């Protein structure tokens, strides 16, 4: 536990000490926010940094930096990475066109703070926020320690959200279920059957709450207004035709005594079906409640008049089959506040509803009650209090995420659970690098929300959440590189966050395809004119120069071997894990050695344009074969005619035991190699990353998955997608005809109420973003967009490891 008694000196005293001339080389300090003059030249010098912060004794892996800043001449600046500040403390990043300062908000605090970029992270100077909120800060080695004023949860308000996205609930508490001091009696806005929770056992005083004013909407969100409980509306809403009768949307308003930090919600459990529950990280009381019940023998029914009726038509209808637990995701929000009034002796207490036991309580619900009651109960809130921190635990439907905001008027946070959880963003993160996200509707005339397919009566929504980075290609301080999960090996996968941060990339997007079994790449990866992995199957690729000139098209690489005084032999692949019969070539760019992929291969060593030896690799456990630096290996698979053409006689092995180490020397054979790309333009680009299929070319949709040897199932699949695109000065012309001015790194997640985009929809989305040329990348669980240490588009637990990525690097 953090010992706050160590921090007996307040911030004002520290500021005075840091500005004192006696401290010519300070080792720790605190910066302050200042206004930036137009055209001001900023000079920054890093002093020390670390990768961990401690908030009230809770250690978090967040980068921080102390630096000298000419905007703050009287003291050192100290900052936390911007996305780290957002994820670890709840600070909101607001839109801006100025990369040198970032507007932030946190409860009543709203300010423009100086920024500083260093080694892949952008730091926000926090001293103004720290001084305003009375934080105490100290540097201890590699760790930045922060102590915040204590805070306590005073009360919690639970409410349904009803607007044009969130549909009404039949039989739900309309104005909100309040936990307040008093007896368990219906308030004026509820019916006697509605759940009204008493706060008498918790000692919570009455308070004024912010609730939705039904029917008043601003955009897609319901406009809130402050009301006393007695003023809440009593209107009974009728479900419109074609809408679900269940409302999955909730709002929890947590009132605090003081502003308190909270962390980004993290996934702690999944409920995919009643037989597939992952609840290991939930609090013990919640685990016990969710544990499937032990099967009990059914008692024999007592004879009654109804059971002895001879007329089958007079029998009572059979009870409905038990309803399965819907797919849910369990979330946790760590909040730096105590909850003495909300926790029982076991340290955990439920505030709203009760979690339904799969196969137990659900069976007892009548058909008219099952859906509404099920969702009302499963979407309650749990409080788990430990030490000085409280975890707020709740569930959402799969594919939803909670939205957390703080109030600028009251010390309270709002937790909204709704399907349209992405916020619009437009932030110039660095010079030449803009971060944007919003919902894009391909068919704006269609309604914005469609119920799940089983209940759908209308056209499917085409409103997609899109996150993208736009990179100014005229900015010479920006460069791009293909990056690998394991730079020293061609095999291996790792989370995109690790791949990007280990290379100090400022931004990155997942790249091309790979074999999930052996973790080798499947497609083109070319870096500094070295083919780390060769192209396959005429698939799409993006190429670029060090001067940020780009080209997108389908790519083929043809290779031909010319043995001395013999017929030319076409080669199938270069440095490839896409294994087929024929002759493939492996160079030292693949690695220092080659290990066989199939049980029987022939390795032919070429040095100095001469075949000097060959050996039969008759087992996949054969030891690795060296690849010469001044040559290459030819690997022959299942083509005896090519072996004979090269003077290799395999007949000696027929009926004989050939040890794996057997190497047959023969007369050296001179050979020449000719290779070329199709189209030839690709040969001029030192960097290439392949994926596919190609989406746009010259502002036209050119999608043809079959031409790139993708399956029909892949072509029609609707899934999470990632793509890269080019914008030019001349719309309608491709990047090769008109120089591209910006590069788009784009991810698209499932539409509201439905699946992800098809490839055709992805092409249209790229056109709406202004791309003239575009390429699909590896998608699904591989999809990820990285910026400044974090994924922008999804919780990290939901992202699969990837083999390679496209990295964006900024000059210091």
CB crowding 368-388: b at 16 or more within 10 Å, else e:
eebbbbbbbbbbbbbbbbeeb
Count the helix, strand and coil residues of the chain and give each as a percent rounded to the nearest 5.
15, 40, 50
pLDDT tens across 379-431, in order?
Answer: 577 777 777 888 888 888 888 889 999 999 999 999 998 888 999 999 999 99
CA distances to 17, 69, 286, 305, 627 from 29, in Å? 9, 12, 44, 85, 54
- Above 60 in pLDDT, residue 27? no
Position 59 pLDDT exceeds 50? yes
More confident residue, 121 or 14: 121
Q: What's the CA angle centered on 694, arms 689 and 699, to 5 degrees?
A: 115
Interacting residues of 636 by C-beta distance below 8 A, sequence separation 6+: 582, 583, 601, 602, 604, 642, 643, 646, 648
| pLDDT of residue 294 exceeding 90 | no
Between CA 54 and CA 77 the distance in angstroms is: 18
Whether pTM exceeds 0.85: no
- Alpha-carbon distance of 740 to 726, in angstroms, equals 6
DSSP designation for 488: T
Q: Is the peptide bond before 693 cis (omega within 30 degrees of 0)?
A: yes
Among the ranges given (196-200, 429-433, 734-738, 778-782), the one the predictor scored with the smallest mean pLDDT: 196-200
Q: Which residue has the tokens 């083999």?
A: 803
pLDDT (tens digit, 9 = 90+) per residue, 553-609?
Answer: 999 999 999 988 788 999 999 999 999 999 999 999 999 999 999 888 888 899 988
Mean pLDDT of the region 272-277: 45
> Higher-confidence residue: 198 or 664?
664
How wide is the angle at C-alpha 385 spanned by C-alphas 379 and 389, nearest 5°? 110
- Using alpha carbons only, what angle is made at residue 16 by residues 11 and 18, rounded to the nearest 5 degrees? 90
Mean pLDDT over 221-225 rounds to 26
Average pLDDT, the chain: 74
Q: How far is CA 46 from CA 65, 70, 78, 698, in A?
A: 7, 12, 10, 45
For residue 492, give the 3-state DSSP assignment.
Answer: coil
- At residue 252, the pLDDT reads 86
pLDDT of 281? 61
Cα(768)–Cα(774) distance, integer angstroms: 12
Q: What is the pLDDT of residue 626?
A: 92
* pLDDT at residue 536, as a whole number: 95
Choice among 146-160, 441-455, 469-483, 622-636 with the minimum mean pLDDT: 441-455
Instruction: Read off the pLDDT of residues 132-189 as tens digits, 9 standing for 90 and up.
Output: 999 999 999 899 999 999 999 988 877 777 777 775 443 333 333 433 322 333 333 3
Q: How many CA atoms lie within 13 A of 156 on its CB side?
A: 27
Structure confidence at residue 285 (pLDDT): 56
Where exactly are the structural domains of the chain? 4-147, 150-290+323-421, 432-443+462-553+681-810, 562-673
Instruction: Provide the pLDDT for residue 686.
Output: 97
Measured distance CA(634)–CA(639) in Å, rounded: 13
Q: Is it the case that residue 523 has pLDDT exceeding 90? A: yes
Q: What is the pLDDT of residue 53?
A: 96
Q: Edge to edge, what strands does the sheet with 101-106 contain?
A: 44-50, 64-69, 77-81, 121-125, 109-118, 101-106, 92-93
Give the Å distances, CA to CA, from 379 to 184, 330, 352, 402, 653: 21, 10, 8, 12, 69
CA distance linking residue 292 with residue 228, whole number of Å: 41
User: What pLDDT does residue 261 have?
Assistant: 95
Q: Which two tokens stand for residue 428?
A: 């110039």
Give the pLDDT score at 278: 57
By the 10 Å C-beta count (0-12 exposed, 13-18 middle, 19+ buried), 320 is classed as exposed
């Amino acid at each position: 536990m953090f010992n706050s008694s160590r921090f007996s000196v307040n911030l004002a005293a520290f500021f005075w000490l840091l500005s004192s001339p006696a401290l010519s080389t300070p080792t720790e300090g605190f910066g302050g926010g200042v206004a930036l003059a137009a055209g001001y030249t900023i000079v920054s010098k890093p002093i020390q940094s670390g990768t961990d912060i401690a908030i009230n004794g809770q250690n978090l892996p967040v980068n921080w930096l102390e630096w000298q800043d000419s905007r703050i001449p009287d003291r050192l600046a100290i900052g936390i990475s911007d996305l780290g500040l957002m994820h670890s403390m709840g600070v909101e990043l607001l839109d801006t066109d100025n990369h040198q300062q970032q507007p932030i908000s946190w409860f009543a605090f709203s300010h423009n703070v100086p920024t500083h970029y260093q080694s892949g992270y952008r730091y926000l100077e926090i001293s103004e926020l720290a001084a305003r909120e009375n934080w105490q800060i100290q540097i201890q080695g590699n760790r930045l320690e922060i102590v915040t004023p204590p805070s306590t949860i005073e009360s919690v308000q639970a409410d349904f959200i009803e607007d044009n996205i969130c549909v009404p609930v039949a039989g739900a508490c309309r104005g909100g279920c309040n936990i307040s001091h008093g007896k368990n009696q219906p308030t004026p806005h509820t019916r006697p059957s509605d759940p009204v929770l008493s706060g008498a056992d918790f000692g919570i005083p009455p308070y004024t709450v912010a609730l939705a004013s039904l029917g008043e909407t601003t955009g897609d969100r319901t406009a809130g207004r402050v009301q006393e409980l007695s003023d809440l509306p009593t209107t009974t809403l009728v479900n419109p035709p074609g809408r679900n009768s269940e409302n999955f949307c909730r709002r929890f308003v947590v009132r605090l005594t003081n502003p308190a930090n909270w962390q980004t919600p993290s996934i702690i459990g999944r409920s995919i079906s009643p037989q597939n529950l992952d609840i290991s990280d939930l609090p013990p009381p919640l685990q016990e409640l969710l544990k499937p019940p032990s099967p009990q023998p059914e008692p024999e029914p007592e004879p009654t008049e109804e059971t002895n009726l001879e007329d089958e038509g007079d029998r009572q209808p059979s009870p409905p089959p038990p309803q399965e637990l819907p797919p849910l995701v369990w979330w946790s929000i760590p909040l730096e506040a105590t909850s003495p009034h909300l926790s029982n002796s076991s340290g955990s207490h439920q505030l709203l509803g009760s979690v339904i036991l799969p196969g137990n309580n659900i069976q007892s619900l009548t058909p008219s009650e099952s859906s509404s009651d099920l969702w009302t109960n499963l979407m309650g809130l749990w409080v788990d209090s430990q030490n000085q921190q409280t975890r707020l635990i709740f569930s959402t439907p799969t594919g939803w995420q909670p939205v957390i905001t703080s109030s600028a008027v009251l010390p309270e946070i709002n937790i909204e659970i709704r399907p349209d959880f992405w916020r619009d963003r437009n932030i110039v993160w660095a010079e030449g690098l803009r971060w944007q996200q919003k919902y894009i509707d391909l068919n704006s005339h269609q309604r914005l929300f469609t119920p799940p397919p089983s209940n759908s009566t209308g056209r499917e929504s085409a409103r997609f959440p899109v996150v993208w980075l736009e990179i100014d290609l005229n900015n010479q301080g920006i460069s791009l590189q293909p990056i690998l999960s394991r730079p020293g090996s061609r095999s291996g996968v790792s989370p995109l966050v690790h791949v990007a941060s280990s290379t100090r990339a400022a931004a990155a997007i997942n790249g091309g395809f790979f074999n999930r079994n052996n973790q080798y790449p499947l497609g083109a990866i070319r870096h500094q004119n070295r083919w780390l992995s060769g192209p396959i199957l005429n698939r799409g690729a993006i190429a670029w120069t060090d001067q940020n000139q780009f080209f997108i098209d389908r790519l083929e690489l043809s290779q031909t071997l010319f043995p001395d005084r013999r017929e030319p032999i076409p080669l199938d692949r270069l440095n490839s894990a896409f294994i087929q019969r024929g002759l493939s070539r492996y160079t030292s760019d693949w690695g220092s050695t080659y290990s066989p992929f199939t049980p029987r291969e022939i390795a032919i060593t070429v040095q100095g344009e001469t075949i000097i030896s060959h050996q039969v690799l008759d087992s996949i456990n054969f030891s690795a074969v060296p690849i010469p630096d001044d040559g290459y290996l030819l690997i022959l698979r299942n083509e005896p005619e090519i072996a004979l053409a090269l003077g290799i006689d395999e007949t000696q092995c027929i009926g004989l035991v050939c040890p794996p180490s057997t190497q047959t020397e023969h007369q050296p054979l001179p050979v020449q190699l000719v290779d070329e790309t199709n189209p030839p333009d690709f040969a001029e680009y030192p960097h290439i990353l392949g994926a596919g299929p190609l989406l746009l070319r010259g502002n036209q949709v050119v999608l043809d998955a079959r031409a790139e040897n993708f399956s029909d199932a892949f072509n029609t699949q609707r899934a999470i997608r990632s793509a890269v695109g080019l914008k030019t000065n001349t719309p309608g012309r491709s990047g090769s005809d008109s120089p591209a001015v910006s590069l788009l790194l784009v991810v698209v997640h499932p539409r509201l109420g439905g699946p992800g985009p098809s490839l055709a929809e992805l092409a249209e989305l790229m056109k709406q973003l202004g791309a003239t040329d575009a390429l699909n990348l590896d998608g699904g669980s591989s999809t990820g967009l990285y910026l400044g240490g974090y994924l922008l588009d999804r919780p990290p637990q939901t992202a699969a490891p990837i083999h390679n990525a496209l990295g964006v690097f900024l000059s210091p």
